[in-house]
Structure 1
Amino acid sequence: MEKSNPLVKLVSSIFLLDKDWVTRVTMAMIVLSLIWGILGIIDALMVRIEEASWALFQYLPLSPQEYEGSITLHGIRDLFGFAQQLIFAVFFYFTFKMLKVEPRAKWFFNIGFILFNISFMLFEGPIILTNQPGFDNYFGATGWYYLAPLGLPGYSLYVASSTWYWAWMLMDIGTYMTSGYLIYHFYQATKTMKEKLPVFLTYGLMIMLLIQIGYAGEVVANVWDLTTFYGITGMDVIANQVAFGDLWHAIVYITWFPAVASLYLLIPTLSGKPLYSERAGRLSALLYLVFSAGGIGIHHIYMADLPLALKLVVEAITLGVVIPTMMTFFNLWATVKGSTIKLNIIALWTATAWAGSIAGGVLGIFNSILADDAVEHETEFIVSHFHQMIYWAIVPAGFAVLYYMIPMMTGRMWYSNKTAWIHYAGYMLGTVMIIVGFSMVGIGGLVRKELIFPLIPVYIFGEVLSTVGAVIADVATIGWLINLVLTLVKGKPVELEGQELPQVINTVAMSFKAPDKIDMRQLVSSPANLVKKLNIHFIHSKKQDA
């Protein structure tokens, strides 16, 4: 009998190597997004440990360069490597599965996918040594802060490795190739479609178009950075930041709009009712594109020396996003009104994304007002708003989608029902603590990216609270990750082939019935128990092969 290597079997199970090209590539994007996401979470945890250590012991375990670098790389890895790539995975998979269009020129997407992921390796390229005063030899400590584009010799005390800017170029090329690939196949599908695009995929198309528009200014800014870095051109700092600002806020919407798209799919499906108004749903997608494209990232530099008239126009456009948002959430509320939905984990994550979008959006309206920005500019209050949108809207919608998408792709049901609920409880408890902590120190006036701050009670309590919350949320998410691996290798087989998407969603949702109770002590013990089960599985596989 031929022996099979357990490691080979594991890799095959995780990457679904026995599936079709679309499913394989989708799983590769999911796996790599999780890898970059985990590394980004580690970066964020290092920041939390640094700030909590100062608050409690007046001790800094990391150098200022490592601290600043952790913040920057956390943003790069989690916004782009994790969130954007996971978004591509979702819409890539459902574009081909729902539209039943045959993928063409697969090599083109493959190249874009590879370049995109190589870029995150180059963001940590070789260190350059220089005698420039104030030089920061941790090249990841770059970013866009107030007036100076950090990392450009002669314009900043920080000098980054040239691979930093080449990494941006590779990410830009990969992003344009992959998003363009999907737009092309949307176009091909419309040639034979007799019906309109589902609202969910209408949002998918809108997001791909927004990516093409939103990255344009950043490409200009990065080429400018490169030529300045090598001494070919000079630099107009404000103009450069305005150009880069196209992506500043576009990436926020690029990561949030998929959450809105998932609500348009999940709420009608789980409630068993058609969307109240499909026309309003499609119109909201168009309006979102209108109000989120272009230079609204200028609202991040309200305090820069720009014409007041320009700032007021940007403020009005930024507030304009309220229109499609109100259309969306009243549309969804009217859809679900009067429905009876059995509590399940997909419904719970969906409801969280719906409520979290509203809660985080209210803060966004507040932040976009010029007069308010004069008070809160660059404080932790801004960080609180953004993380509230991430933790309570974007990520919950992502979990809701993955809970039905994984069984659909793998043909296996999730390994542990209880772990899913423990993960939800731990994640929400931890993220509430993070948001409250950030909000407290922000309202108290603490500027972001400050590793040394006054030791007053509101700062000490807020920093420690958010750090403890981060640990709780991270431990709970480790449990989810192990549950995912166990699902891929040991999940119960289920036949979902040939079923329509709403039927798949409801089938999976009904398998996640609510437990009678959740013991909070299981937040710690559950990941450990799952690790033991995973270890037992590998030992068992080796015995069988022997």
Structure 2
Amino acid sequence: MFSVVMGFVWALVGAADALLVRIQESAYALFSTLVTPPWDYYAALTLHAERMLFGFAQQIEMGVFVYIVAKVIGGDLKGKRIVWLSLLLINASIFLFEGPVSPKLSFIDSYFSATGWDSLAPLGVPGYSNYVVSPLWWWGWLLLELSTFLWGGWIIYNVVKNGRGRINYVMYFVLATTTLFVMGYVAPFISTNWELLSGYSLLPLNSFYNEFVFWFYGHSVVYMLFLPAVTALYFLVPIMVNRKIYSESMAKWSAVLYLVFFKH
């Protein structure tokens, strides 16, 4: 329930960001005027995606998967505190993505989170722009990645350990999607730590290879939104129509093939 409530909170905040973007674009297109400073516009572009994808979609998916595992497997599931820690970390990460908050606009002018996803975009590179990315941006990514690893580890451990004889086709999709999440976040985890070490002058940074590593994440992030929906349908449709699935073995193979081919 906590993940659902917080997910919808971030959905509302992200929707407000998206609305600000549309109002700015419409006002400029129709009346050649700006209703908000450019840095607010660019920040809203980035933050609406962060809040809607991570704060809303991913967090609710995390909660739904925990519910499905508890419902299907049952029993005494271990490490519930790990689930709570993962949820606390993902919500903390959304705050950190925004960067520092200050009433002094002159400070915010040059210190905000408009990175266009990639923290090395020209908009935020010192020497190429007056805008610089807050160090909190990288810590936000790091907390998001750690949250995903903790949650994914909890799901996989409990399904494998407690699911003997109870790993049905729904659990196949849960395992496939959770594994995809964990694998997908390895790339930004490497990229984030590389950038952090570089920021503290502990490791030289090659921006081309760093961006190359980061966007391996892009191969899996789209399926992170798609596969949970498929998983939920496999779980809910048989319940709603009160009939067994046509072929459980075909459903299991479908989950395996999704996992095998998602990188290709």
TM-score by length of 2: 0.89
**Alignment match, 1:46:** 20
Using the TM superposition, give the Cα deviation of residue 144 of structure 1 relative to its aligned residue in structure 2, in angstroms: 4.0
Query: Residues 55 and 91 of structure 2 are in contact (CA less than 8 Å); yes or no, is this contact kept in structure 1?
Result: yes
Using the TM superposition, give the Cα deviation of residue 178 of structure 1 relative to its aligned residue in structure 2, in angstroms: 1.4
**Alignment match, 2:169:** 199
Letter of the structure 1 residue corresponding to residue 114 of structure 2: A
| Equivalent of 1:171 in 144, 162, 171 | 144
The reply to whether residue 69 of structure 1 matches residue 43 of structure 2 is yes
Query: Residues 7 and 56 of structure 2 are in contact (CA less than 8 Å); yes or no, is this contact kept in structure 1?
Result: yes
Q: Deviations over 1:106-157 (max 9, x none)?
A: 222222221221111111232699x9xxx95251211246984653435765
Cα gap change, 1:290 to 1:59, in 2 (>3 Å): same
Query: Residues 37 and 81 of structure 1 are in contact (CA less than 8 Å); yes or no, is this contact kept in structure 2?
Result: yes
Using the TM superposition, give the Cα deviation of residue 228 of structure 1 relative to its aligned residue in structure 2, in angstroms: 2.7
Query: Residues 200 and 261 of structure 1 are in contact (CA less than 8 Å); yes or no, is this contact kept in structure 2?
Result: yes
**Alignment match, 2:98:** 124
The reply to whether residue 212 of structure 1 matches residue 182 of structure 2 is yes
**Alignment match, 2:260:** 290
**Alignment match, 1:95:** 69
Using the TM superposition, give the Cα deviation of residue 104 of structure 1 relative to its aligned residue in structure 2, in angstroms: 1.6
| Equivalent of 2:219 in 223, 236, 249 | 249
Q: Secondary structure at the match of 1:143?
A: coil
Q: Which moved more, 1:282-291 or 1:225-234?
A: 225-234
Distance of 1:31 and 1:41 partners within structure 2: 15
**Alignment match, 1:237:** 207
Letter of the structure 2 residue corresponding to residue 187 of structure 1: V
Q: Residues 56-455 of structure 1 correspond to what in structure 2 (within 5 A)?
A: 56-126=30-100, 137-144=110-117, 148=121, 151-154=124-127, 158-190=131-163, 193-195=164-166, 197-293=167-263, 317=264
**Alignment match, 1:327:** none
Q: Secondary structure at the match of 1:153?
A: coil
Using the TM superposition, give the Cα deviation of residue 176 of structure 1 relative to its aligned residue in structure 2, in angstroms: 0.8
The percent identity for this pair of structures is 37
Q: Deviations over 1:5-44 (max 9, x none)?
A: xxxxxxxxxxxxxxxxxxxxxx011111111111111111
Cα gap change, 1:125 to 1:179, in 2 (>3 Å): same
Cα gap change, 1:226 to 1:158, in 2 (>3 Å): farther
Cα gap change, 1:232 to 1:151, in 2 (>3 Å): farther
Which segments of 5 or more consecutive residues in structure 2 lack a partner in the other structure? none
Using the TM superposition, give the Cα deviation of residue 180 of structure 1 relative to its aligned residue in structure 2, in angstroms: 0.8
Distance of 2:146 and 2:78 partners within structure 1: 19
Using the TM superposition, give the Cα deviation of residue 158 of structure 1 relative to its aligned residue in structure 2, in angstroms: 3.4
The reply to whether residue 37 of structure 1 matches residue 11 of structure 2 is yes
Q: Deviations over 1:283-335 (max 9, x none)?
A: 11111112224xxxxxxxxxxxxxxxxxxxxxxx2xxxxxxxxxxxxxxxxxx
Using the TM superposition, give the Cα deviation of residue 233 of structure 1 relative to its aligned residue in structure 2, in angstroms: 3.2
Q: Deviations over 1:80-99 (max 9, x none)?
A: 11000000111101211221
Q: Which has the higher contact order (CA 8 A, sep 6+)?
A: 2
Distance of 1:68 and 1:78 partners within structure 2: 16
Q: Residues 530-545 of structure 1 correspond to what in structure 2 (within 5 A)?
A: none
Letter of the structure 2 residue corresponding to residue 167 of structure 1: G
Query: Residues 7 and 57 of structure 2 are in contact (CA less than 8 Å); yes or no, is this contact kept in structure 1?
Result: yes
Distance of 1:147 and 1:166 partners within structure 2: 15
Cα gap change, 1:268 to 1:107, in 2 (>3 Å): closer
Query: Residues 147 and 238 of structure 1 are in contact (CA less than 8 Å); yes or no, is this contact kept in structure 2?
Result: no
Cα gap change, 1:119 to 1:154, in 2 (>3 Å): same
Query: Residues 148 and 237 of structure 1 are in contact (CA less than 8 Å); yes or no, is this contact kept in structure 2?
Result: no
RMSD: 2.5
Query: Residues 169 and 248 of structure 2 are in contact (CA less than 8 Å); yes or no, is this contact kept in structure 1?
Result: yes
Using the TM superposition, give the Cα deviation of residue 165 of structure 1 relative to its aligned residue in structure 2, in angstroms: 0.5
Distance of 1:127 and 1:227 partners within structure 2: 25
Distance of 2:173 and 2:184 partners within structure 1: 16
Letter of the structure 1 residue corresponding to residue 60 of structure 2: L
Which has the larger Rg?
Answer: 1
Q: Secondary structure at the match of 1:98?
A: helix
Using the TM superposition, give the Cα deviation of residue 159 of structure 1 relative to its aligned residue in structure 2, in angstroms: 1.0
Letter of the structure 1 residue corresponding to residue 44 of structure 2: S
Query: Residues 149 and 241 of structure 1 are in contact (CA less than 8 Å); yes or no, is this contact kept in structure 2?
Result: no
Query: Residues 199 and 261 of structure 1 are in contact (CA less than 8 Å); yes or no, is this contact kept in structure 2?
Result: no
Letter of the structure 2 residue corresponding to residue 168 of structure 1: W
Using the TM superposition, give the Cα deviation of residue 217 of structure 1 relative to its aligned residue in structure 2, in angstroms: 0.6
Cα gap change, 1:44 to 1:201, in 2 (>3 Å): same
Query: Residues 148 and 155 of structure 1 are in contact (CA less than 8 Å); yes or no, is this contact kept in structure 2?
Result: no
Cα gap change, 1:126 to 1:145, in 2 (>3 Å): closer
Q: Deviations over 1:246-284 (max 9, x none)?
A: 222322211110111122233334444432222221111
Distance of 2:48 and 2:86 partners within structure 1: 23
